[in-house]
Amino acid sequence: MGTKDTIYEGLFNYGITRRDFMKFCTTMSATLALSSTSIPKIAEALQQKKKPYAVWLHFQECTGDTESLLRATKPSIAQIVLDIISLEYHETIMAGSGHSAEKALHDVVKNQKGKYFALVEGSIPTKDGGIYCVIAGKTAVEIAKEVCGNALVTINVGSCSCWGGIGSAKPNPTGATGTASVVPGIKYINLPGCPANAENITATIVHYLTFGTLPALDRYNRPLFAYGKRIHDNCERRPHFDAGQFVRKWGDEGHRLGWCLYEMGCKGPMAYQNCPTVKWNDGISYPIQSGHPCFACASNDSWDVFGPIYNRAPHVPGASYQATADKIGAAVVAGTAAAVATHAVIRTFLGYKQKERFSKEKNEADKMK
Amino acid sequence: MFDKGPYVWQPQKLDMFRKSRKAQDKRLYVWQLPVRLSHWLNILTITTLIITGYYISDPFMHAISEDQSIMAKMRFIHFVSAHILIASAILRIYWLFAGNKFARLKEFFPYTKEKRKEAIEFIKFYSFLKKEVHHPIGHNALAAISYSFTYFMIFLAILTGYALYSESHTGFFWYLAGGWVFGIISDGTIRLIHHSVMWVLTAFLIVHVYIVWLNDNIEGNGLISSIFTGYKIYHKD
């Protein structure tokens, strides 16, 4: 694998031209939302730095994040594996298996202690001693403690390793959670998403190589360059939202004309990610562009709090499955109106017990007639 | 005169009646101008906010042509009304400390034993368990509790509203105004609270108008006109 080479040499050996290399640096600079003056810095760092070691752990997941990485074309998966990082362990794409595969992982942990990236995909089950995810006789909790605990930095790829993802959705049968809560005190960065965008994974590593630090993070430990802006504010269907043109049914005229998916349950107004600008699969498309509402996959609340994917309003916690705030609210208002009406009717039948003063006055007034 | 025969316009007799009534009545200036102003601003803005807010949550009207920008207009009206409501709230908060005794903070927290008793009396009165009840000059204890609750609801609406506003208006000011709430509760819950408050306030409006009408009718204290003029009629007895 030639891990002693610098990244640039590796790329050169792989047949990448200087021009392609500079293009890659420019793409990374743009993804990281840096100015064009940082392109030479990135180029310099990648030419001088040794390839970093990295291991990729799989826990309770669907391999969607790996699929996302395999579709990275800037640079291609082969280039990432061979040139940008020295990926020593990745269950899906590694050639080795069994003991030799496990040896590769342990060698990295032992020999490169505190120097390697641990990329984690999938949630970690904590219930019943963590028996729901066991690899090579060790539970996910044990593996995470050993590998993430000794890593330079842990990169949580996808929502599952960030905070449990779909595995931790109610009722969370396996007690699934993210790496940060299983191995407290580690240096980590969250790249949530279902799956995480490969551009953002690559850009995070490049940022670390160039500047020696993690990119600026938000309150959920997500890099601001990728999760700092709201999808709703960058959405190409936003003009239809402002105009009041909404899709009401799948395949109706509005849907065919590309109108806003707000009423179909789009969570774009609550979702923070760079999907509308970076897009997916080499910038081809992303869910909203292809006519499907966003369900805020990069949010901790997408499953339990934001409610059903195709519902605008969330379900009220504690209420029955179908109870939305609107149903309960309308019932409360209707009940109030009914109570008021009943009260008025009973009052009328009981007769107004007006103050004596009133009747006195009336009598006086009658006398004056 | 009022309940017999067909109605005949008799200005002199009406005047005599009014005079006799006036001789017995005391007109008390209860609601000061800032209280009335804030009350009507609240009515105007909350009604507007409920209608536009419901549209934002569930766009029931669809644009026919692109240039109508219904949602943008609804949001604009919603935000302008919200800021007027906040101005009204600031005025009212100031008057909680500067106003007369009917407008002060203490009036809205009936924690004394007598006041608690009064609240129970009013609950009995409204549920037909008691035929008469003594109406105090300002707010009765039950009304005070319901207004404190409503103010809290409005406070929740303002806080969650500012939080949601800070999503599209970044910067330190908007963070201070509401952006910090995201550190405590999640986006979905903030929206749920903001939306639920709308229904609670709608229910409050119905109850409020009915109770005011009821009391005005039974008590004859000019409760409805008092929020226009500031004067409540208080009887000798």
Number of domains making up chain B: 1
Residues of B in contact with A243 (CB under 8 A): 63, 66-72
Of A6-10, A252-256, A290-294, the range with the lowest mean pLDDT is A6-10
DSSP character for A91?
Answer: T
- Whether the per-residue pLDDT at B1 is higher than 50: the answer is no
Percent of chain A whose pLDDT exceeds 70: 88
Q: How much is the pLDDT for A1?
A: 42
Residues of B in contact with A355 (CB under 8 A): 218-220, 235, 237
Instruction: Answer yes or no: do A347 and B214 touch at CB < 8 A.
Output: yes
Query: Looking at the complex, does the CB of residue A351 fall below 8 Å from at least one CB of chain B?
Result: no
In chain A, positions 259-288, which contact chain B (CB-CB < 8 Å)? 262-263, 269-270
Separation in Å, CA B217 to CA A337, A353, B210, B222, B233 = 19, 10, 10, 8, 13
Residues of A in contact with B182 (CB under 8 A): 219
Q: How much is the pLDDT for A160?
A: 94
Q: What element of type H or E holds B151?
A: helix B141-168
Residue located via tokens 């008793």? B117
* Confidence grade of residue B236 (pLDDT, cut at 50, 70, 90): low
Q: What CATH number should be reported for the domain holding residue B188?
A: 1.20.950.20
Query: Looking at the complex, does the CB of residue A230 fall below 8 Å from at least one CB of chain B?
Result: yes
DSSP-assigned beta bridge partners for residue A260: A246
Instruction: Answer yes or no: do B167 and A230 touch at CB < 8 A.
Output: yes
* Helical spans, DSSP H, in chain A: 7-13, 18-31, 39-48, 64-70, 77-79, 98-111, 140-149, 159-163, 179-182, 198-211, 224-227, 231-234, 238-243, 253-256, 275-278, 325-350, 356-368
In the sheet that A153-157 helps form, which strands lie side by side, from edge to edge?
A86-90, A53-58, A117-121, A153-157, A188-191
Q: pLDDT, tens digit, for every residue of A280-312? A: 877 888 999 999 999 999 998 888 888 788 888
CATH superfamily of A230-314: Cytochrome-c3 hydrogenase, C-terminal domain (4.10.480.10)
Mean pLDDT within B22-40: 84
In chain A, positions 286-345, which contact chain B (CB-CB < 8 Å)? 299-301, 305-307, 312-314, 316, 325-326, 328-330, 332-333, 336-337, 340, 343-344
- Asked if the interface predicted TM-score (ipTM) of this complex is over 0.85, the answer is no
DSSP secondary structure letters along A98-154: HHHHHHHHHHHHHHTTTTSEEEEESBEE-GGGGTTSEETTEEHHHHHHHHHHTSSEE
- Whether the per-residue pLDDT at A145 is higher than 90: the answer is yes
Which has more pLDDT, A307 or B226?
A: B226
Mean pLDDT of chain A: 85
Closest chain A residue to the Cα of B21, Cα to Cα: A361
- Give residue A271's Cα distance to chain centre: 8
Number of A–B residue contacts, CB under 8 Å: 152
Q: Which fold has domain A7-227?
A: Rossmann fold (3.40.50)
Which has more pLDDT, A74 or A268?
A: A268
Q: How much is the pLDDT for A307?
A: 77
Instruction: Answer yes or no: do A343 and B126 touch at CB < 8 A.
Output: yes
- Could you tell me the residue range of the domain that residue B58 belongs to? 29-234
Mean pLDDT within B71-81: 95
Q: pLDDT, tens digit, for every residue of A317-341? A: 766 656 778 888 888 999 999 999 9
Closest chain A residue to the Cα of B75, Cα to Cα: A242
Residues of A in contact with B69 (CB under 8 A): 242-244
Q: How much is the pLDDT for B21?
A: 63
Q: How much is the pLDDT for A311?
A: 84
- Whether the per-residue pLDDT at B83 is higher than 70: the answer is yes
Instruction: Answer yes or no: do B188 and A301 touch at CB < 8 A.
Output: yes
The domains of chain A are located at 7-227, 230-314, 325-368
Instruction: Answer yes or no: do B198 and A329 touch at CB < 8 A.
Output: yes
- Whether the per-residue pLDDT at B17 is higher than 90: the answer is no
- Whether the per-residue pLDDT at A196 is higher than 80: the answer is yes
- Whether the per-residue pLDDT at B169 is higher than 60: the answer is yes
